[in-house]
């Protein structure tokens, strides 16, 4: 089936800086995308979602951007905090979710 992938396996940022995590997807028919955060030993935690009829969606300190032309998603985290350290996955929704490989975000104090 189609797959969703990530460009960077590890991202290290300074506390207080903004973080950008990128994701490429391959199914142009996909109409719903989700970002999850997974901390060590825990299940994926919903962060934000976006439907294909939108280009941008904002949450609390997070923004997701969708570029359908190049089939690209990004997650922006403002004022990154130590508690943001985790692995971040983008996922493409069908019946089951198709997950990318994940990006580990490390926040340096």
Partner 1 sequence: DSGVTQTPKHLITATGQRVTLRCSPRSGDLSVYWYQQSLDQGLQFLIQYYNGEERAKGNILERFSAQQFPDLHSELNLSSLELGDSALYFCASSRGQRGQETQYFGPGTRLLVL
**Residues of the shown chain interacting with partner 1 in the complex, contacts defined by CB under 8 A:** 31-32, 34, 36, 42-46, 49, 51, 89, 93-102
Is there a contact between 6 and 23 (Cβ–Cβ < 8 Å)? yes
- Looking at the Cβ atoms of 84 and 102, the one nearer to partner 1 is 102
Identify any residues that bridge with 20 across adjacent strands, giving them in sequence order: 76
Q: Least Å distance between CB 92 and partner 1? A: 9
CA 45, 76, 6, 30 torsion: positive or negative? positive
Nearer to partner 1, 14 or 52 (CB): 52
- Of 96 and 109, CB closest to partner 1: 96
- Looking at the Cβ atoms of 51 and 108, the one nearer to partner 1 is 51
Beta strands at 10-14 and 103-108: parallel, antiparallel or unpaired:
parallel
Nearest distance in Å: CB 99, partner 1:
4
Task: Report whether 100 contacts 73 (CB < 8 A).
Answer: no
Closest distance to partner 1 from the beta carbon of 95 (Å): 3
Q: How far apart are CA 100 and CA 109, in angstroms?
A: 28
Q: Contact, 92 vs 2, CB < 8 A? A: yes
């Amino acid at each position: 089936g189609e797959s969703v992938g990530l460009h960077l396996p590890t991202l290290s940022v300074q506390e207080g800086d903004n973080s950008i995590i990128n994701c490429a997807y391959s199914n142009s028919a996909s109409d719903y995308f989700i970002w999850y955060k997974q901390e060590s030993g825990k299940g994926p935690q919903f962060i934000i979602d976006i439907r294909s009829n939108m280009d941008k969606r904002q949450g609390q300190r997070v923004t997701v951007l969708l570029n359908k032309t190049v089939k690209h998603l990004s997650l922006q985290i403002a004022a990154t905090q130590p508690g943001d350290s985790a692995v971040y996955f983008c996922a493409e929704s069908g019946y089951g979710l198709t997950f990318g490989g994940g990006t580990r975000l490390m926040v340096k104090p």
